[in-house]
Structure 1
Amino acid sequence: MTIIIISLLLLASLLPHLTFTAHVNVGIVDGTQAKPHSKPYMVSLQTYEKREHICGGFLISDEFVLTAAQCRNGYEILVVVGAHDLGYSKSVIRVKSYISHPDYIPSTFQNDIMLLRLEKKVELNDNVRLISLPKKGEDVEAGILCNVAGWGATRDGPQSYLLMEAYTTTKPQTDCQLKWESKFFPSQMICANGSGGSCSRDSGGPLVCENTAVGVTSFGDPDRCNSPDRPNVYTKISPYRQWIDEQMTC
């Protein structure tokens, strides 16, 4: 009887650890849980009716979020700022206007970029910050270690309530073209691959290299997230700087 009681007590002491481990092994494919609020520029885009996470995004001013044009998809979107665990209460802001790039082509993901003007300005603090963008014509080189984050799905599992992250390396444009052929547009896109990467519902989040958001998560292999054969593709931000600046000053 004494042995049974001791065994039960040991099991009870391990339960929090087991629960935590099971909880964090989700999200970005082969990634790890981000340190809470270490990416204060990240936002979750959610449907107005069901409060369901559909995409990522990132704050580039106290009034604008940058994301992928594909995330609109007819939804009325709510923007959640300052979050790490989507299961807890957080600041939610409605979108005043959706500004998709006028040349966005859904079938090819060309010009897959969109600005969201928020209904009210966010209050910047330790958990809510902006991220810088590259200058016009300032391209990221191949071989740079970068970071992606999101609340998206695993390869075989559900989406994550915790913000996950992974490291990925930018590839030469010739490699991207070889892997994706006619689906890759070098003037508009970057590709990257690593031990972990983006998956479903991570679209719209930033590709961050050297503390700068250089790309917007756009698409990957539809049959396998973070496929070694087809690197994830990101909309290159630098060619759109003039368009972004013009929209933000309208």
Structure 2
Amino acid sequence: MDCLKKLIFLLLTLQLVNCQNGKAGRPDTPSKPARAGDYPYQAQLRNRKTKEHICGGAILRRDVVITAANCVYSHVKDGTLDQIEVVAGEYDLKTESGHEQVVHIRRAIVHENYEEGAKVDDIALLVLRPELKFNEFVQSIPIRKNVPPTEKAV
């Protein structure tokens, strides 16, 4: 039950996420290639053997990434979570920059109401080992703390 309370708190907190640096992209902003350090809070989930991209996620803490449950659910169910690795500091999937950090998933916490193929409750927390080392290329996502109840922050 304590874990469920923490997950609910996290979900509510995510409603307050604010990408304060303004680089989150808007429809009226022309796209351009990302540069190292532009999105230090992004994480990649990839197949450990083939290095094939599976999903993305956001770094919450040095040891926690949030992602969609559909990205890891079948691996949790099959006991094959060790086939996925998490990469932080990556900004170009075609080129290694030397800023990447590759870590493993110690545990996945999938929302208890998630059902495979469903579009609701599609959220999971990944507990990492070892922890990420924060630097200019790897950081937690900025979370806005002071949002008046009448405002939207997402």
- Shorter-chain TM range is 0.5 to 0.7
Aligned twin of 1:66: 66
Classify 1:139/1:119 alpha carbon distance in 2 versus 1 (closer, same or farther; 3 Å): farther
2:138 corresponds to which letter in structure 1?
V
Choose between structure 1 and 2 for higher RCO, CA contacts under 8 A separated by at least 6 residues: 2
1:116 corresponds to which letter in structure 2?
L
Classify 1:134/1:108 alpha carbon distance in 2 versus 1 (closer, same or farther; 3 Å): farther
Aligned twin of 1:98: 108
Please say if 1:127 is aligned against 2:137: yes
Q: Counterparts in 2 of 1:1-250, with a 5 A limit?
A: 31-72=31-72, 73-74=74-75, 76-86=83-93, 87-88=95-96, 89=98, 90-133=100-143, 141=152, 214=154
Q: For residues 99 and 55 of structure 1, what CA distance do their matches in structure 2 show?
A: 16
Would you say the 8 A contact 2:87–2:101 is kept in 1?
yes
TM-score (norm 2): 0.64
Q: Secondary structure at the match of 1:33?
A: coil
Would you say the 8 A contact 2:70–2:117 is kept in 1?
no
How far is 1:116 from its partner?
0.4
- Please list every run of 5 or more consecutive structure 2 residues that lacks an aligned counterpart in the other structure: 1-29, 76-80
Aligned twin of 1:184: none
Q: For residues 110 and 59 of structure 1, what CA distance do their matches in structure 2 show?
A: 21
1:91-134, Cα deviation, whole Å (9 max, x unpaired):
21011011111111223211000000001111111111111346
Q: For residues 139 and 91 of structure 1, what CA distance do their matches in structure 2 show?
A: 39
Would you say the 8 A contact 2:108–2:127 is kept in 1?
yes
Identity %: 31
1:192-232, Cα deviation, whole Å (9 max, x unpaired):
xxxxxxxxxxxxxxxxx6xxxx4xxxxxxxxxxxxxxxxxx
Q: For residues 144 and 116 of structure 2, what CA distance do their matches in structure 1 show?
A: 25
Instruction: Count matched residues.
Output: 114
- Please list every run of 5 or more consecutive structure 1 residues that lacks an aligned counterpart in the other structure: 1-29, 142-208, 215-250
TM-score (norm 1): 0.41
Classify 1:109/1:35 alpha carbon distance in 2 versus 1 (closer, same or farther; 3 Å): same
Classify 1:55/1:99 alpha carbon distance in 2 versus 1 (closer, same or farther; 3 Å): same
RMSD (Å) for aligned C-alpha atoms:
2.6
Q: For residues 101 and 70 of structure 1, what CA distance do their matches in structure 2 show?
A: 10
2:89 corresponds to which letter in structure 1?
G
Q: For residues 111 and 43 of structure 1, what CA distance do their matches in structure 2 show?
A: 20
Q: For residues 33 and 56 of structure 2, what CA distance do their matches in structure 1 show?
A: 16
Name the larger-Rg structure: 1
